[in-house]
Amino acid sequence: MKLTVIGASGSFPGPGSPASCYLVTADGPDGDGGTRPWRVLLDLGNGSLGVLQRYIDLEQLDGILLSHLHPDHCMDLCGLHVAVRWNPAGWHAGRIPVYGPAATATRIAEAYGMEPEPGMHPDFDFRTWRPGRTERLGPFRITPHSVRHPIDEAYALRLEVDEPGEDGAPVPRVLTYSGDTDTCEGLVAAARGADVFLCEAAFQEGRDDHIDGVHLTGLRAGRMAAQAGARKLLLTHLPVWNDPQQAALEARRAYEGPLAVAVAGLSYGV
């Protein structure tokens, strides 16, 4: 698997990054006995759709996986709807699978000023998460885990892909994305043994740590990664007023493994 950070800014786009959006690529079946690259997005927050086109053609998208329905994680679905519906050359890729909370189709239609029916159903194949139920899309096995955030449904997403090991036998590679959350058992379960734990750290110790049930600090993220036994921690969703170095120093107090702060435009192997 390869993770490319399209946007990592917390809560709204920053001067150097869109809001949350992560491109994940892995080889999988092409339907003719061969393989091809499969491309899915973890969230599609405001500002991300334009930057995404630096890396792929929009018709190459195989699916969108939404952690929750706050605008900084889903609102550029509205722009993608325009690309699908109104491209003068036509859209040849078929309806795009969109996995998310039960209210996804209605919420996005309302955001665009449309009636819920048919809404954006002609463009997107909306599929509803069920906590703990694994979905399959190409080479990806995706399991949502309920987490703590002030919205009806919020999920951490665990992605698994089998890749050949040194002896040729399949070895599962695991990427976990926290979405937005505070500390909880669901987050630890989602990140258990993950090769890369992409984890939000929107809050800061000494400034926001008294706020419960909304976001993690760097320290809280480090504790979650340590409890889960994650092999690498990649901090993300830092708002513009956060110091990335401070977030990393906080996380280091609780987590001893490889640690970095996600940077828009960079790619990471899983």
47-84 pLDDT, tens digit per residue, is: 999 999 999 999 999 999 999 999 999 999 999 999 99
pLDDT mean over 234-249: 98
Q: What is the pLDDT of residue 208?
A: 97
Q: Which of 23, 1, 7, 2 is nearest to 200 (CA)?
A: 7
pLDDT mean over 11-38: 96
More confidently predicted of 164 and 34: 34
Residue with tokens 């110091």: 243
Q: What is the pLDDT of residue 157?
A: 99
pLDDT in tens, 212-237: 999 999 999 999 999 999 999 999 99
Mean pLDDT of the chain: 97
CATH code of the domain covering residue 189:
3.60.15.10
Q: What is the pLDDT of residue 166?
A: 82
Q: How many domains does the chain have?
A: 1
- Using CB atoms within 10 A of its CB, is residue 83 exposed (0-12), middle (13-18) or buried (19+)? middle
Q: Do residues 3 and 198 lie in contact, with contact meaning Cβ atoms separated by under 8 Å?
A: yes
Q: What is the pLDDT of residue 167?
A: 85
Position 145 pLDDT exceeds 90? yes
Q: What is the pLDDT of residue 185?
A: 98
Domain span at residue 68 reads 2-269
pLDDT in tens, 159-171: 999 988 888 889 9
Tell me if residue 83 falls in helix, strand or coil.
helix
- How many angstroms separate the CA atoms of 102 and 128, rounded? 5
Q: What is the pLDDT of residue 168?
A: 83
pLDDT in tens, 167-210: 888 999 999 999 999 999 999 999 999 999 999 999 999 999 99
